[in-house]
Amino acid sequence: MYPGNGPFSHLPPWERPGWLYGPGSCWYLGIRTGDTGTSVPVVDNVETLQRQKDLLETQLASISKTLEQINSRLDELEAKNE
C-alpha cells in the first residue's frame, strides 16, 4: 500500500489519475463540459416533410387498428371468463 487515504491509495502516486491527468481528474475525467445537446437537422424540403407526415399517419392508423383488435379480444376473454 502507498500513502494516502483516497480511492486510489492502492496505486503508486505516478499511476494515480491526478498525477497523470492533473488535479481533480479522478473526479472529472471523462465528463464533457459545455453544450452536449443534440441538434435537430433543419429540413427545408416540403416534400420530405409531407412524406414523413404521411408515414406517421399511416403508422398511427395501424397502431390504432391493432389496439382496437387487442381491446376486442380482451372483451371476448372477459366475457368467456364471466
- What pLDDT is attached to residue 12? 80
Residue 37, in any domain of the structure: no
53 with 81, same domain?
yes
CA distances from 20 to 23, 27, 75 (A): 9, 13, 66
Question: Is 7's pLDDT higher than 80?
Answer: no
Q: How far, rounded to the nearest angstrom, does the alpha carbon of residue 73 sit from its chain's CA centroid?
A: 34
Looking at the fold, whether 1 and 28 belong to one and the same domain comes out as yes
Condensed to tens digits (0 to 9), the pLDDT of residues 11-54 reads 787 777 666 666 665 555 555 555 556 666 676 788 888 999 99
Q: Which domain holds residue 12?
A: 1-32
Residues 5 and 26 in one domain: yes
Alpha-carbon gap, residue 47 to 27, rounded angstroms: 49
Q: Are residues 54 and 22 in the same domain?
A: no
| Number of domains within the chain | 2
Q: Domain check: are 21 and 53 in the same one?
A: no
C-alpha span between 23 and 16 (Å, rounded): 10
The x, y and z cell numbers of residue 38, run together, are: 443534440
Residue 82 shares a structural domain with residue 52: yes
Q: Cα 15 vs. chain centroid, distance in angstroms?
A: 33
Each residue's pLDDT tens digit, 44-78? 788 888 999 999 999 999 999 999 999 999 999 99
